[in-house]
Amino acid sequence: MQKWLRLRTLHSTRPPILYGFNHSRPTNVQLQRLVASRDLQARSFAFSAVPRFVLHAMRIPVAGVTVGVGGLTYVNYKLNDMATKSSDLMSSISDGIKSAFGTVTDGFSKFDIGLQVPELLTNIFSTSSRSSSSSSSPNQLIESDKPRFIKKDDPSDPSGNSGAAAAAVAAAALFMGGEKDDDDDDDDGKSFRKKSSGAQDDQFMNLTKKLIEVRNILMSIDHEEGLKLPSIVVIGSQSSGKSSVLEAIVGHEFLPKGSNMVTRRPIELTLIHTPKSKEEYGEFPQLGLGKIHDFSHIQQTLRDLNLAVPESECVSNKPIELRIYSANVPDLTLIDLPGYIQINNKNQPETLKDKIVELCEQYIREPNIILAVCAADVDLANSEALKAGRKVDPLGLRTLGVITKMDLVEPEIGAAILRNSDYPLHLGYIGVVCKPPASIKNKKNITSALIRHEDQFFRSNYVYSQRGIQVGIGTLRKKLMEVLEEGMAKSLFSIVGAVQKELEESRYQFKVQYNDRRITAESYVAETIDSIKQNFKNFAYSFGKPQVRLEVRSMLEQKVMDLCAELYWTDNKIVDLPKAPTDELYWKYKLDMSSAALTKSGIGRTSTQLVVGVLMANMEKIALLEPLNNHPDISSKLLSLSNEILRNKFHTTSDQVENCVKPYKHEVECSEQEWTDGVKRTISLIEKELESCNRALQNIKDTVGKKKLRAAIKYVIDDAKRVQAQARDSGEGTVVDSGNETSTLTQVQSVVVNDIIEDNDSDRHRLHFNPKVIEKAIEAIFLRDRSMILKYRLAALKSRQCKSPENKQYCPEAFLNMVAEKLAYTAVMFIQVELLNEFFFQFPREVDNLLVYGMNKNQILLFAKENPKIRKHLELQEKKRKLEEVMEKLNYISRDASGWLGSANGSR
């Protein structure tokens, strides 16, 4: 940091032409690159700078330089020390120096002291022609320049001017004041950190790394625009080479490719430099897939996530977050966006072009840095990326141009593009060739080979070594690091206040809304489990054996009423039942038949199914209670579990019940008490049935009207008699006893209705009644007759004849009710043991398996957030926690930055 500030101070007093950075303020990295470049032969020196240079260089009198060998020995010592720590110190010395130091050269040429001088400096100050010096490498912008040393008698120095070179080096050493400037990178491209640029620079890069961490935290929470830290947004047209540039920076092919539009969502790419680890892997924080070491798997995952966007939409503004950890990448935050298109195909929406433009404009706003990727073989005037960048950044202050496919144009044309003055950018243009050789495609990391291949191309074309031209992936990496560092540093102090304000607001809201009460997703799951179990426990207590017996008895009593109505109440001889002899076989046979119909009706299956239905109905009610009503998926799973438990026990239970009631199919014993209870229950049932009939009949009278209903009933009875007479005269059908209106109604009901509808020739049928009124009349007749029979049977049950079980054939309703009670009691006993107890025992444990042991941490969090109240609570709590973490990091960074600035100002 001291060196960076000192260089900024020098910039204010030195002509901008000495730096060669398009009149922009030089940074530490730019100055180091300038010193490290090997194109010194091609650069010229401004003669106006010679007097100032001489003043700096000649800090001792020239006469003192020629005193003796002692002085030269000191110069030789300083030269050796500097040769091992710096790369080519004469980046700002041009050919004009030779004339200024001519006399010095003559004075030193006669000394034979065997100095080791870099060959490059020898070439600069030698009197050999420029054509001979052009054989040296024209471009080494990526790999470190390792100086080659020669001796006096080295044949590579035929002119014998090593002494002159030594003098020039001595002057340069005095001019530089012993200042170090080292920007060496590993030859294999595997490290992009500055190795020996000083502790201050390392601290500055740590600042950038920490600010990237802060950015990642802020990106994970909902925040205001003022809390944004800059990222590098990559834009460009389709097929401009955006993907190749990003893959060259990372060193792996990991982005999806295809003829169709495959980038449909923004990809927020965070590169994290891990110098102490040899492991290279990627992570998708949103997906929770863990470490992915196979970059082809990363590529396929990105393809699937992008193609999940339907073609009807084509683009989505929902970003994909990807982090790559490697020792071979710099600390950068990059955002890859869908490429601009000129025209959409028939399968794409007409608004696709506008959608892409709108999406890109959303990301290239301040403070983000724009990386505009353009192909060299396309005129920059047609570049959609530059057009979009100029729209939001008219002065080009935060736009960096990357020209791809430099190998497709002539070197002179490529150099002209990189010098571009028609579309000037403050950060300039960098030319790259990102296509790796075919021979290295299968390598694990293509960085080293790609840089060498690209460097070889630019070395072979001398025009790319000219001043003001930047080329190479290595240069691009360093430039991106430099630009991001500056952007992060500018945002450091401004973002502290914004984070502090947001944090105070979050703390206030958390205090007001939740009284600082912290919760976790796990605690909510525990509370949910307790609530489910409590609701289930309450239901289990309320649905024991008495309730089950009541359900089964009600079902069997209804079956008894149906059997009585079918076998007794429609029988014409029912009026003769009280007077029938005790040994009459007709009524004994009918009683046995009705009892068998009841006991052999599948009591085991029907009673078990009834109880299962009641259980499932109550489980559905529990699923609608708090908090399960917020979790439809879990509710559905719990109902499925309940159904599965009951289904597994259904057949066993029904078989057990059926086996236990089998004795009642052959003989039913009845005690006095059982008979008495049965009579009471039967009287109560018939009273309810009678009440229900009277209520239904009254409802019909109210609906149709008493007079109209009476006329309709009379008409139906008369017509029934007419039908009966016709049947008797024709000898067809069965003649029905006219005294039994119920039997008559049963036989002629359909005939009467159809006759009224179809017979239009009879005046009698044109009367007055529509079919619906006739139907109501028929129903009223049925209810009237049923009510009469129920009153008759109710009186019989209350008579002395039905006081004893020995007269059971006279009171079939009471006998069947007593049998139903025995069946219900026996069935419920085994249903309780085989079904209910097992269900009440297993269900709570299935809840634990589902909600406790069946979900991982992410699933638990998603489950908790399904509840809107809990989600709001957790989000505010998490936002507060992350803002506190960010604030702590920013305070730490600010203290360190203040210390660095203080020490730098002190050194100045």
Interval 366-385: pLDDT, tens: 889 999 999 998 888 888 99
496's tokens? 């502290």
Strands 332-336, 369-375: parallel, antiparallel or unpaired by DSSP? unpaired
Taking residue 71's Cβ as centre, other Cβ atoms within 10 Å add up to 14
Q: For residue 439, what pLDDT band results from cuts at 50, 70 and 90? A: low
User: Could you say which DSSP state residue 276 is in?
Assistant: T
**CA dist., res. 40 & res. 204, Å (int):** 30
Q: What is the tens place of the pLDDT at every residue in 549-593?
A: 999 999 999 999 999 999 999 888 888 888 888 888 899 899 989
Q: What is the tens place of the pLDDT at every residue in 5-18?
A: 344 433 443 333 33
| CB contact at 8 A, 684 and 882 | no
Residue 569, classed as helix, strand or coil, is: coil
Asked whether residue 307 carries a pLDDT value surpassing 90, the answer given is no
Instruction: Choose from 23-32, 608-617, 751-760 the range with maximum mean pLDDT.
Output: 608-617
Quick check: bond before 230 cis, omega within 30? Answer: no
Taking residue 676's Cβ as centre, other Cβ atoms within 10 Å add up to 15
Cross-strand pairs, 619 = none
- Residue 507 has a pLDDT of 92
Asked whether residue 249 carries a pLDDT value surpassing 50, the answer given is yes
- Residue 438 has a pLDDT of 67
Short-list 235, 232, 224, CA closest to 398: 232
Q: For residue 331, what pLDDT band results from cuts at 50, 70 and 90? A: confident
Cα–Cα distances in angstroms (integers) from residue 808 to residues 239, 270, 797, 802, in the given order: 97, 90, 10, 7
Short-list 73, 176, 187, CA closest to 140: 187
Q: For residue 276, what pLDDT band results from cuts at 50, 70 and 90? A: confident
| CB contact at 8 A, 360 and 337 | yes
pTM: 0.58
Residue the block writes with tokens 């070491």: 293
Which amino acid makes up residue 330? P
Any residues with CB less than 8 A from the CB of 560 and at least 6 apart, and which? 598, 685, 813, 816, 817, 820
Q: What is the mean pLDDT of residues 246-250?
A: 90
Taking residue 687's Cβ as centre, other Cβ atoms within 10 Å add up to 13
Taking residue 135's Cβ as centre, other Cβ atoms within 10 Å add up to 9
Asked whether residue 174 carries a pLDDT value surpassing 60, the answer given is no
Q: What is the 3-state secondary structure (H, E, C) of 724-748?
A: HHHHHHHCCCCCCCCCCHHHHHHHH
**CA dist., res. 548 & res. 827, Å (int):** 10
Asked whether residue 190 carries a pLDDT value surpassing 50, the answer given is no
Quote the Cα angle for 239-242-244, to 5°. Answer: 95
738-742: Cβ within 8 A, 24+ apart: 740/572, 741/717, 741/781, 741/785, 742/570, 742/781, 742/782, 742/785, 742/786, 742/789
Positive or negative, the CA dihedral 841, 847, 850, 854 is negative
Alpha helices by DSSP H, listed for 705-811, are 706-730, 741-758, 771-797
Residue the block writes with tokens 């009631």: 661
**CA dist., res. 194 & res. 260, Å (int):** 41
Residue the block writes with tokens 């200042």: 179
Asked whether residue 867 carries a pLDDT value surpassing 80, the answer given is yes
Q: For residue 345, what pLDDT band results from cuts at 50, 70 and 90? A: confident
Question: What percent of the chain clears pLDDT 70, i.e. is strictly above it?
Answer: 70
Any residues with CB less than 8 A from the CB of 264 and at least 6 apart, and which? 306, 307, 309, 314, 315, 316, 338
Positive or negative, the CA dihedral 434, 438, 443, 448 is negative
- Residue 347 has a pLDDT of 73
Q: What is the tens place of the pLDDT at every residue in 467-488?
A: 889 999 989 999 998 898 888 8
Task: Say which range, 200-214, 334-348, 397-411, 860-874, has the weakest mean pLDDT.
Answer: 200-214
- Residue 223 has a pLDDT of 56
Q: What is the tens place of the pLDDT at every residue in 735-764?
A: 444 344 444 444 444 444 444 444 444 444
Q: For residue 823, what pLDDT band results from cuts at 50, 70 and 90? A: very high
- Residue 612 has a pLDDT of 94
Mean pLDDT of the chain: 75
Cross-strand pairs, 269 = 322, 334
Q: What is the mean pLDDT of residues 608-624?
A: 93
Based on its alpha-carbon atoms, the radius of gyration of the chain, rounded to whole angstroms, reads 49
Taking residue 804's Cβ as centre, other Cβ atoms within 10 Å add up to 14
Alpha helices by DSSP H, listed for 364-433, are 384-392, 411-418
Positive or negative, the CA dihedral 515, 516, 517, 519 is positive
Question: What percent of the chain clears pLDDT 90, i.e. is strictly above it?
Answer: 33
The separation between the first and the last C-alpha atoms of the chain, rounded to the nearest angstrom, is 11
Q: What is the mean pLDDT of residues 498-502?
A: 86
Asked whether residue 440 carries a pLDDT value surpassing 90, the answer given is no
- Residue 43 has a pLDDT of 39
- Residue 22 has a pLDDT of 39
Asked whether residue 535 carries a pLDDT value surpassing 90, the answer given is yes
Asked whether residue 615 carries a pLDDT value surpassing 50, the answer given is yes
Which amino acid makes up residue 738? S
Question: Rounded to the nearest 10 degrees, how much is the dihedral formed by the CA atoms of 658, 659, 663, 665?
Answer: 30
Strands 320-326, 281-283: parallel, antiparallel or unpaired by DSSP? antiparallel
| Distance, C-alpha 533 to centroid of its chain | 32
Cα–Cα distances in angstroms (integers) from residue 102 to residues 60, 105, 157, 165, 173, in the given order: 17, 5, 18, 11, 18
Identify the residue with better confidence: 345 or 625: 625
Longest dimension (CA), the chain: 162
What element of type H or E holds 286?
none
Q: What is the tens place of the pLDDT at every residue in 871-886?
A: 999 999 998 998 888 8
Question: Rounded to the nearest 10 degrees, how much is the dihedral formed by the CA atoms of 92, 427, 6, 486?
Answer: -150
Do you know the residue count of the chain? Answer: 908
- Residue 421 has a pLDDT of 77
What element of type H or E holds 878?
helix 868-907
**CA dist., res. 709 & res. 753, Å (int):** 15
Taking residue 362's Cβ as centre, other Cβ atoms within 10 Å add up to 12
- Residue 613 has a pLDDT of 93
Taking residue 217's Cβ as centre, other Cβ atoms within 10 Å add up to 15
